[in-house]
Amino acid sequence: MKQIKIGSIGLGRLGLEHAKNIAGKIADAELYALCDMDEQKLHKAAQELRVEKTCTSFEELIAIKELDAIVIVSPSALHCKHISEALRAGKHVFCEKPLGTSLEECTLAEKAVEAHPDKVFMLGFMRRFDESYMYAKQKIAAGEIGRPVLFRSYSQDPIKCIDGAIAFAPHSGGEFYDMSSHDIDLARWMLESEPESVYAIGGCYAYPEFAKYEDGDNVSCLMKFKNEAMAFLFAGRTAPHGYNVETEIIGTKATLRIASVPQKNLVEILDTHGVRKECSENFQERFSSAYVNEVQEFVRCIIENRKPNVSVYDGTAISIIAGKCTESFKTGKLVTF
Amino acid sequence: MKQIKIGSIGLGRLGLEHAKNIAGKIADAELYALCDMDEQKLHKAAQELRVEKTCTSFEELIAIKELDAIVIVSPSALHCKHISEALRAGKHVFCEKPLGTSLEECTLAEKAVEAHPDKVFMLGFMRRFDESYMYAKQKIAAGEIGRPVLFRSYSQDPIKCIDGAIAFAPHSGGEFYDMSSHDIDLARWMLESEPESVYAIGGCYAYPEFAKYEDGDNVSCLMKFKNEAMAFLFAGRTAPHGYNVETEIIGTKATLRIASVPQKNLVEILDTHGVRKECSENFQERFSSAYVNEVQEFVRCIIENRKPNVSVYDGTAISIIAGKCTESFKTGKLVTF
Amino acid sequence: MKQIKIGSIGLGRLGLEHAKNIAGKIADAELYALCDMDEQKLHKAAQELRVEKTCTSFEELIAIKELDAIVIVSPSALHCKHISEALRAGKHVFCEKPLGTSLEECTLAEKAVEAHPDKVFMLGFMRRFDESYMYAKQKIAAGEIGRPVLFRSYSQDPIKCIDGAIAFAPHSGGEFYDMSSHDIDLARWMLESEPESVYAIGGCYAYPEFAKYEDGDNVSCLMKFKNEAMAFLFAGRTAPHGYNVETEIIGTKATLRIASVPQKNLVEILDTHGVRKECSENFQERFSSAYVNEVQEFVRCIIENRKPNVSVYDGTAISIIAGKCTESFKTGKLVTF
Amino acid sequence: MKQIKIGSIGLGRLGLEHAKNIAGKIADAELYALCDMDEQKLHKAAQELRVEKTCTSFEELIAIKELDAIVIVSPSALHCKHISEALRAGKHVFCEKPLGTSLEECTLAEKAVEAHPDKVFMLGFMRRFDESYMYAKQKIAAGEIGRPVLFRSYSQDPIKCIDGAIAFAPHSGGEFYDMSSHDIDLARWMLESEPESVYAIGGCYAYPEFAKYEDGDNVSCLMKFKNEAMAFLFAGRTAPHGYNVETEIIGTKATLRIASVPQKNLVEILDTHGVRKECSENFQERFSSAYVNEVQEFVRCIIENRKPNVSVYDGTAISIIAGKCTESFKTGKLVTF
C-alpha cells in the first residue's frame, strides 16, 4: 500500500522526536523531507534518519510534489502562517501546539482549515494520545465516574530545565499559555464543557527573573465550568523530582487519577532514601508513546479519510482560556468568559 | 503521681470516642465524671467505662470539686458558653472544634481564656496530632521543602454518611465551616501565614438538598496567602471510596503528601478488582491515634504547666476564614481579607 | 472495677516498651512492680513510670501478693523457668517470645501451664495483634482468598543494627530462631497447617562474623505444609532501607499483602530522590500498637476468664520448626518433619 | 538504506504480535513474507499487514532469496529444526523461547549456530528488553545494589486463561519449562551466576487436571547459586487479578523491585473497591514494548554485525535448569547440578 509521504519542519527537541518517530515507528508513513534553517542540524538529522530531501525554507518544503503531509514543529509564532500555506499547497497538516500566539492568528488558521475541508488538519495535544489518558477518557465517557465534580491537573517541569525556561520567558506568553494549555485541553476534553470564570494566582517563589514578564515560576487557577464542574490547574517550573504531569477527575461515582506518581518506569528502589520510584525526566520520556500515537492517528486519518478529534477550534478555545487565566493572574481579579 | 481528673460533656460519636480514650488510653488522666442530657446514653457509657459520677447538666458537672479539667464535646452553639463557665469554675478546658458559630461567641471565648491565664485551654484540631501530619510539619519547619508554593488539602466524607450530612445541613454552617475548617487550620499551621484573598465555588452535584441552605455537596476554594503561597481546598460529601483526608504541600525544594492513598491499613489486596487498598471508613478510624494524642497533650500541658499550640485565637481566625470562603461561594465573587 | 496489677521483669528495649505501655496505655491494668538486675536502670524506669515497688530478683517479684500477673521480658534462656515459677506463685503470665531455647525447656513450660489451668498464659507473638495482620487473618478466615497456595514472609532488620546483631550472635540461636520465628508463627496461624519439609539456604553476604556460629546474615527457606501450601521465608540483617516485615499470602481467589511498603507513616516525599516513603526504623516503631494490643488482650483474658489464641504449644511448635530450618541450613540437606 | 527483509513463521497469538511489530514498528525492517499452515489465518494476516509473499511450508519460506532473516514462532518442538534449516539457508534467525524441548534438540541448535558464525542468532527472552528490567540490570551492573543476596521472581497467568493452559498441559513440559523459564533467564542474567541446587514444590490447588501430567497449577522452587545468591521462583496459573510478572533482587546495598504492582497503566481508581489499579491482562499488554525492542535489537545486530546478548547457550542452560526444577518437583527431592 501507498506510504504517506511526510515533510517535517523544525528540528528542535520535539521536532527531532517527531522526525525520528515518523522515520522509524509510524506504520504506513515515510519521512520524505526535512526542513530547518540550521543547515548543520538539518544534515545531521537527514543522515541519521536517512532522508534524502532537505531544504532550509518552508516554501521549498511545501513545493515538494511527492509530499502528502506536513508536520509543523516551527516556532509558535509561525504556526498559523505555515498551516495556511501548507493547506493551500494541498497538503494535510499536523501542527504542534499552540495553534497560534494571538487570536488573530488562530482565526486565520481556522479560515484556512475551513477553506480546505478535504484535508486533514490536526493539532498536537499529545496527552490525549497517552494510553492512560485515553483509558481514563473511556471510563468517563462510559459513565463510570458519574457526574464530574472536580478536575485537577498539574504540569510541572523539572528544575534542571530552569535555565531554558528563563531564556524562553520573553517568548513563552507566560506559564498558562506555555504549560497550562495542555491541562486546559484535558479539562475541556474530559469535562466536555467550557469554563465561565477563572481566578488565577501565583508568583516567583524561587526565580524573580519571571516577574519582569509579569509571569511566575509557579502559578495556579480555579475555574468554574458551564456544567458546574470545578477545575484546578497548577503549573510549576521548579519541581526537584522531575517532570510531573498528573491529573485527577473526581466524579460522583468514582475518582480517576492519572500518573499520581510520575514514575520513570516500573522499578522500585529500597535503599537509604526509603522505598522510592525515580521520576520521569522530561516530556519526551513521559510521553514518548503518545507522540508516536498522535502522528499515527494523523496518518490513519489521512488514509481513512477521517477527521482527528483535536480540531482547529480546540486550538482557538485553548488560547482564549489561557489568555483569561493570564489576565486574572496579572490583574489579581476574577475574570469571566 | 496525681492523676488529672477529667469530666466530659457530650456523648455523641466523637464525645464517646474522647470518653473511651480518657478512660483507657491516656496516661496520667482519669475519666472522673460524665455529662449528657440523654440519661440512657449517659448510664450506658458510665457503666461501660466504669465512671461513678454522672450528671445531666453542665452546671452540675463543673460544680464537681475534684475535677481538674473539662472536655467539651457539646453542640457547637454551646461551646463558647461552656468554655467560659468551665474556666470560671476553675477548670482547665479542652473544647472540640469549632470554637464558636459566630464571631461574637469567639470573642467571648477569647476574653474568658484571657481572664484565666493560669488555666490550660486547648481546641480540638486533631489533625495536628496525627503522626504523619506532625512528621510533615517537622520537615517543613526544618526547611526541607524550601519555600512553600502550593498547599492543597481535601476533606471528603464517605457517601454512606450522606443522610446524616443532609439532616445536619441546617445547622452545619456550610461545608467550609463544617469540613474545610480542618484544612484551614492545617494551611495556617503549615504555611505560617494568613490568607488575603479567596475565590470559592462548588455546587450540588448529586444532592440538591443542600441548595436550600445555600450550601453544596462538593465545594472548593483557591486562596492566596500573605507570604504569596497558594492554597487550594476541596471538601466533598459524596466520596464513594470512603473517608479521604489528604494534604499536599509543594515547596521549592520538595513536595510532601500526607495520606494521598486513604488506606484503611497496610493490607493490599490483589483480586478481580485489581491491586487495591481499602479505604478509611470514617474520621474515628483515620484519626484514632490523633484523638488520643491531642488529649494526652492537653493532660501533659496541665501537668507541665504549658500552653498547647492550638490557641483560642486560632479558633477565631479559622472561623473568620471559613466565613470568607462561604461569602465567596454564596456571592460568586472574589473576597479579600 | 479492679485494675489488674502487673509486675514486669526485664528492662531491655522491649521490656521498657512493655512497661511504658502497661503504665500508660492499657485499660484496666496497673504497672505495680518492676524487676531488673540493673539497679540504675530499674530506678530510672520506676521513677519515670511512677512505680513504687521495685526489686532485683524474680523471687521477690513473684512474692508480691498484690500482683495478679507477671510480664516476662527476661533473657530467653530464663523464660521457661520464670514461667513455671510465676504460675506456681499463682500469677497469670505473659511471656515474650521465644518460649524457650531448647525443646526440654518448652516441655517444662507446657507442663507448668497444664498444671495451672485456671491461669492465663500468653506468648508474645505481637504480629498477630497488629491491625493489618488481624485484618488479613479475618479475610482468610472468611474464605476471601480461597485455598492458600503460597505464604511468603520477610523479616529484615536495618543494617544500622548490625553491631548489636553481631554481638548477640553467640546467643541468638541463629536467624531462623531469632528472626524467622515470627514468620513461622504467622505461617502456622494463617495457613492453619503444619510444615512437613524444609530446605534452607543462605550465607554471610556482607558480615563473615556470623559464619563462626554457623549462621548467616541473610537466610531463607522453602517449606511445604501438610495442606500442600508452600511457604517461603526470608530473614536478613542488612536492610539499608530500615525495618522491613512484609507478608504475602496468595490464594486461589485473592492475594493479600501486608506492609509490602514498610512505610514509616503516611507521608510521601517528592524530591531529588524521586517519589518516596521513608521506612520504619525498628520493631518498636512498626509494631507499637501491636505491643499495646497484645498486652491489652492478655489483661482482657484475665478479666473475662478466657484463654488467648497464642498457646504454650504454639511456642513449642515454632521452636521445633525453627530448629528444622536451622538443621537444613547447616547441613545443606532437605529436612522432613 | 537497505531494509532488512524478514520472513516470519507461525501466526499464533505471539506470532501475530511479532508480525504486526515488524510490519509497523521496527525501524529498518520490512515484513516481506509470512508462513503458516493455516491458509485462512495466513491470508487474513497477509492482507491486514499488506504482505505480498505467503507460503504454507517452512521450506518455501527459507527458499525466498530476498529474505535476510527468519523469525520463528512455530511450535516449540520444531524450533531447533527450523533454526538449523534457516541458518543453512543463509538467513539470520530470531527464535521464540524455548530453544528446544530436549537437550538433544538444544545441542543440535548449538551446532547449527556454531556452523554459521557470520549469522545473527537470537532467542526471544523479551523480558531483557523491557525498559524496567533493562534499567534494573544497569543499576545492578553499576554496583548500586551491592552483592546480590536474594532474587525473587513470579510468573502468574490470569485465571481466565486456565482453559488454554489445561488444553496445552500435555505439551507444555510443565510449569517450570513453560512459565519459569523466563524467571530462570532473568536470574542467570541478573545474578551472573549459575544454580547449584534446587528444591521445588507445588500442587494442584484448584485444577486437578494438571496432576495427570505430573504438573501443578502453582509451583515454586528455591535455588542456591554458585555465587551464594538465593533465588526463589514462583509460577502460577490461577491469578484472579491478571497477568503478574514481578521480580525483586535484594542486595547488600539496595533492593530493586520490578513491577511489584502489575499495573495496566497509570490510571488509579478510587471507588467502592478502595484505591486501586487495574492489572495487565496478558503478556502482550505487559510486554508490548519489549517485543518491539527485542526484534529491533535483532535487526540492529544484523545491520551493525553484532551478536545479541541472548545466545544459543543461554537457551540450553535455561532448559537444563527448568529440567532440574521439574525433577525436584516430581521426586520431592533436593536436586543438585
- Asked if B241 is an interface residue toward chain D (Cβ–Cβ < 8 A), one would say yes
Q: Which residue of A has its CA nearest to C271?
A: A241
Q: Can you tell me the distance from the alpha carbon of D145 to that of C150, in angstroms, rounded to the nearest whole number? A: 27
Q: How far is D112 from chain A (nearest CA, A)?
A: 32
Q: How many CB pairs under 8 A join C and D?
A: 89
pLDDT at position A101 is 82
Helix/strand/coil for B279 = strand
Q: How far is C297 from chain D (nearest CA, A)?
A: 30
Yes or no, beta carbons of C218 and D149 under 8 Å apart: yes
Q: How far is C184 from chain A (nearest CA, A)?
A: 25
Yes or no, beta carbons of B270 and C254 under 8 Å apart: yes
Measured torsion, CA atoms of residues C308, C312, C318, C321, in degrees rounded to the nearest 10: -140
Beta strand C195-203 pairing with C335-336: antiparallel
Q: Can you tell me the distance from the alpha carbon of C317 to that of B160, in angstroms, rounded to the nearest whole number? A: 46
pLDDT digits (tens, 9 = 90+) for C102-146: 899 999 999 999 999 999 999 999 999 999 999 999 999 999 999
Residue D214 phi, psi (nearest 5): 50, 35
Q: Which residue of D has its CA nearest to C202?
A: D230
- Asked if D131 is an interface residue toward chain A (Cβ–Cβ < 8 A), one would say yes
Task: Name all chains with 3 or more CB-CB pairs below 8 Å to chain D.
Answer: A, B, C
> Please, which pLDDT band fits residue C186 given cuts at 50, 70 and 90?
very high
Q: Can you tell me the distance from the alpha carbon of A204 to that of A303, in angstroms, rounded to the nearest whole number? A: 48
C199, C234, C260 member nearest D334 (Cβ): C199
> Please, which pLDDT band fits residue A35 given cuts at 50, 70 and 90?
very high
Yes or no, beta carbons of C265 and B24 under 8 Å apart: no
Residues of chain A contacting residue B248, judged by C-beta atoms under 8 Å apart: none
- Asked if C174 is an interface residue toward chain A (Cβ–Cβ < 8 A), one would say no
Per-residue pLDDT of chain D (337 residues; tens, 9 = 90+): 578 999 999 999 999 999 999 998 998 999 999 999 999 999 999 999 999 999 999 999 999 999 999 999 999 899 999 999 999 999 999 999 999 888 999 999 999 999 999 999 999 999 999 999 999 999 999 999 999 999 999 999 999 999 999 999 998 889 999 999 999 999 999 999 999 999 999 999 999 999 999 999 999 999 999 999 999 999 999 999 999 999 999 999 999 999 999 999 999 999 999 999 999 999 999 999 999 999 999 999 999 999 999 999 999 999 999 999 999 999 999 999 9
- Asked if C273 is an interface residue toward chain B (Cβ–Cβ < 8 A), one would say no
Residues in contact with D255: Cβ distance below 8 Å, sequence separation at least 6, in sequence order: A269, A270, A271, C239, C241, D145, D248, D249
Whether the pLDDT of residue C311 is over 80: the answer is: yes
> Please, which pLDDT band fits residue C1 given cuts at 50, 70 and 90?
low
Residues of chain B contacting residue C257, judged by C-beta atoms under 8 Å apart: 267-270
Q: How far is A161 from chain D (nearest CA, A)?
A: 23
Strand order in C69-72's β-sheet? Answer: C53-55, C29-35, C4-9, C69-72, C92-96, C121-124
Region C52-56: what's the mean pLDDT? Answer: 96
Q: Can you tell me the distance from the alpha carbon of A160 to that of A240, in angstroms, rounded to the nearest whole number? A: 8
Yes or no, beta carbons of A275 and C239 under 8 Å apart: no
Burial of residue B3 (number of CB atoms within 10 Å: 0-12, 13-18, 19+): middle
Judge contact between D92 and D71, C-beta under 8 A: no
Q: Helical H runs in chain C?
A: 13-24, 39-48, 58-63, 79-88, 103-115, 131-141, 162-172, 175, 181-191, 283-286, 288-304, 312-331
pLDDT at position C101 is 82
Which strand (E) or helix (H) includes residue A238? Answer: strand A230-239
- Asked if D260 is an interface residue toward chain A (Cβ–Cβ < 8 A), one would say yes
Q: Can you tell me the distance from the alpha carbon of D166 to that of D204, in angstroms, rounded to the nearest whole number? A: 12
- Asked if B23 is an interface residue toward chain C (Cβ–Cβ < 8 A), one would say yes
pLDDT digits (tens, 9 = 90+) for C72-85: 999 989 999 999 99
**Rounded to 5°, angle at Cα B311 from B309 and B316:** 140
- Asked if D117 is an interface residue toward chain C (Cβ–Cβ < 8 A), one would say no
pLDDT at position B10 is 97
Residues in contact with D143: Cβ distance below 8 Å, sequence separation at least 6, in sequence order: D253
Whether the pLDDT of residue A244 is over 70: the answer is: yes
pLDDT digits (tens, 9 = 90+) for A54-111: 999 999 999 999 999 999 999 989 999 999 999 999 999 999 999 988 899 999 999 9
Please check whether the two domains, D4-119 and D128-288+318-336, share a CATH topology: no
Q: Can you tell me the distance from the alpha carbon of B290 to that of B287, in angstroms, rounded to the nearest whole number? A: 5
- Asked if C278 is an interface residue toward chain A (Cβ–Cβ < 8 A), one would say yes
Superfamily for domain range B128-288+318-336 = Dihydrodipicolinate Reductase; domain 2 (3.30.360.10)
Q: Which residue of A has its CA nearest to B148?
A: A205
pLDDT at position B325 is 98
Mutate to test the interface with A, among C160, C276, C285 (most CBs of A within 10 A): C276
Whether the pLDDT of residue A142 is over 70: the answer is: yes
Yes or no, beta carbons of A25 and D28 under 8 Å apart: no
Yes or no, beta carbons of A268 and D257 under 8 Å apart: yes
Of residues A97, A14, A10, the one with CA closest to residue A310? A97
Q: Which residue of C has its CA nearest to D223?
A: C201
Q: Can you tell me the distance from the alpha carbon of A193 to that of D185, in angstroms, rounded to the nearest whole number? A: 51
Residues of chain C contacting residue A244, judged by C-beta atoms under 8 Å apart: 270
Which amino acid appears at position D166 of this protein?
I
Low-confidence ranges of chain B (pLDDT < 70): 1
Yes or no, beta carbons of C266 and B258 under 8 Å apart: yes
Q: How far is A58 from chain D (nearest CA, A)?
A: 26
- Asked if A149 is an interface residue toward chain B (Cβ–Cβ < 8 A), one would say yes
b/e map C194-224, b = 16+ CB within 10 Å: ebebbbbbbbbbbbeebeeeebbbbbbbbbb
- Asked if D266 is an interface residue toward chain B (Cβ–Cβ < 8 A), one would say no
Yes or no, beta carbons of C279 and A274 under 8 Å apart: yes
Domain ranges of chain D: 4-119, 128-288+318-336
Residues of chain A contacting residue D269, judged by C-beta atoms under 8 Å apart: 139, 254-257
B261, B272, B277 member nearest D241 (Cβ): B272
D254, D265, D268 member nearest A271 (Cβ): D254
Q: Which residue of B has its CA nearest to A202?
A: B230
A253, A256, A267 member nearest D258 (Cβ): A267
Residue A5 phi, psi (nearest 5): -90, 125
Q: Can you tell me the distance from the alpha carbon of A197 to that of B190, in angstroms, rounded to the nearest whole number? A: 29
Which position has the grid cell 540492529? D300
Yes or no, beta carbons of B224 and A238 under 8 Å apart: no
- At the second CATH level, the architecture of B4-119 is 3-Layer(aba) Sandwich (3.40)
